[in-house]
Amino acid sequence: MTKIKVGIVGTGFIGPAHIEALRRLPNIDVAALCEVTIELAEAKAKQLGIGRWYTFEELLKQEDIQCVHICTPNFLHYSQSKAALLAGKHVVCEKPLAKDLHEAEELVELAAKTGLVNAVHFNLRYYPLVRQMKTMREKGDLGEIYSIMGSYLQDWLFYNTDYNWRLEPDKSGDSRAIADIGSHLLDVIEYITGLKTVEVMADFNTVHKVRKKPLKPVETYSGKMLQPEDYADVHINTEDHANVLLRFDNGNRGCVTVSQVSAGRKNQLKLEISGSNKTFAFNSESPNEMWIGNRDQANQVLMRDPSLAYPEASALMTFPGGHNEGFSDTSKQLFKEVYAAVEAGKQPENPKYPTFADGYRELLICERILDSTRSQKWVKI
């Protein structure tokens, strides 16, 4: 077997998550990584067991590297994805695809022109029961969609001493909670239902208007505390919490809540979709079960089991029922589909995986949500 050689760009929280998932695919060799300095790249490569390390520019010169994964802060996604495409590399980019719609549109056009494989890491589509819900909807099990309620709750920014580059608009963009995790929720809603969000009404709240920025390095999700003198006050103008009303192209409604200050919620995406036949409910912190609500018979709980799911969903299941699969498996299943395309050498006509075009779509929705919270009005998409 000739393995596809991959380069990883950025090794914060999500870069190693990509590496771990890629290493579980038999046809992939995570051959190299890069960081902002060659010294940091070397240290990270040795820590992660990767044999080659470079700066970004040098990584792109490596002819044997066929695909790169952009796992850097948001403000670098556009320039690095563009450079990788121009260097003839297939690209998997973290979301958001870019900082604004013009950049994202340029990347979509460039990717189409090159014909190279392009994907955005909307991995939460790849919980098997998310695809089960999508397939059940497509087969008519759900019926006409009446309403959608969703939330994405975390507590990693609960304290005013919690700090990360995502709090700084020049690195992350003007939206934080919605752009960071709300984008996953909004993507999953359209993915499952097949509906398009056509209008939004948003209300943002910044709970901690001043945060304590560490003057010493602290890794994301590390939980480490410093001394009072180790912090500097920083004024925050991106949202800790957001509520958004949604109108869909079938004429019906939905609402979502996104928060990064909900104590005890570590990484909980919840979704409830009510149709004319049934209601589907899913909670990513219990990803191996799906609730099915009925009016005239007993409700059901469907356990993740390839023998009980539709083939489209069982294709995302590696283990039998009762052998739980979770967050790390979603990236593996996404990459499995992406690298089938890389092996073929080009972007398929109708890829199953989320593409740069999907990245543009979610950026568009987030931009309109920002417009709405600023104007306090309904905004069309």
Q: Which pLDDT value is given to residue 214?
A: 87
Q: Which pLDDT value is given to residue 223?
A: 60
What integer is the mean pLDDT of 82-103?
A: 96
Name the CA dihedral angle for 160, 164, 169, 171, rounded to a multiple of 10 degrees: 170
Q: What percent of the chain has pLDDT over 90?
A: 92
Q: pLDDT, tens digit, for every residue of 47-81?
A: 999 999 999 999 999 999 999 999 999 999 999 99
Q: Which pLDDT value is given to residue 40?
A: 96
Instruction: Say if residue 258's pLDDT is above 90.
Output: yes
Q: pLDDT, tens digit, for every residue of 263-283?
A: 999 999 999 999 999 999 999
Count of beta carbons in the 10 Å neighbourhood of residue 182: 28
Q: pLDDT, tens digit, for every residue of 29-47?
A: 999 999 999 999 999 999 9
Q: What is the CA radius of gyration of the chain?
A: 21
Cα first-last separation, the chain: 46
Instruction: Say if residue 216's pLDDT is above 80.
Output: no
Sign of torsion over alpha carbons 224, 174, 97, 381: positive
Instruction: Say if residue 221's pLDDT is above 60.
Output: no
Cβ pair 54, 65 in contact under 8 A: no
Cβ pair 131, 379 in contact under 8 A: no
Using DSSP's 3-state secondary structure scheme, residue 332 falls into helix
Token couple for 105: 């549109």
Cα 70 to Cα 16, 193, 317: the distances in Å are 12, 29, 26
Higher per-residue pLDDT: 34 or 220: 34
Count of beta carbons in the 10 Å neighbourhood of residue 39: 10
pTM exceeding 0.85: yes
Q: What percent of the chain has pLDDT over 70?
A: 98
Q: Which pLDDT value is given to residue 38?
A: 97
90-99, 218-227, 371-380: least confidently modelled range? 218-227
Lateral strand order in the sheet of 90-93: 52-54, 28-34, 4-9, 67-70, 90-93, 118-120
What integer is the mean pLDDT of 218-244?
A: 82
What integer is the mean pLDDT of 219-231?
A: 69
**Per residue, what are the HEC states of 84-101?**
HHHCCCEEEECCCCCCCH
Q: Which pLDDT value is given to residue 220?
A: 59
Count of beta carbons in the 10 Å neighbourhood of residue 219: 10
Q: Predicted confidence band at 257 (pLDDT cuts at 50, 70, 90)?
A: very high
Name the CA dihedral angle for 192, 194, 196, 202, rounded to a multiple of 10 degrees: -20
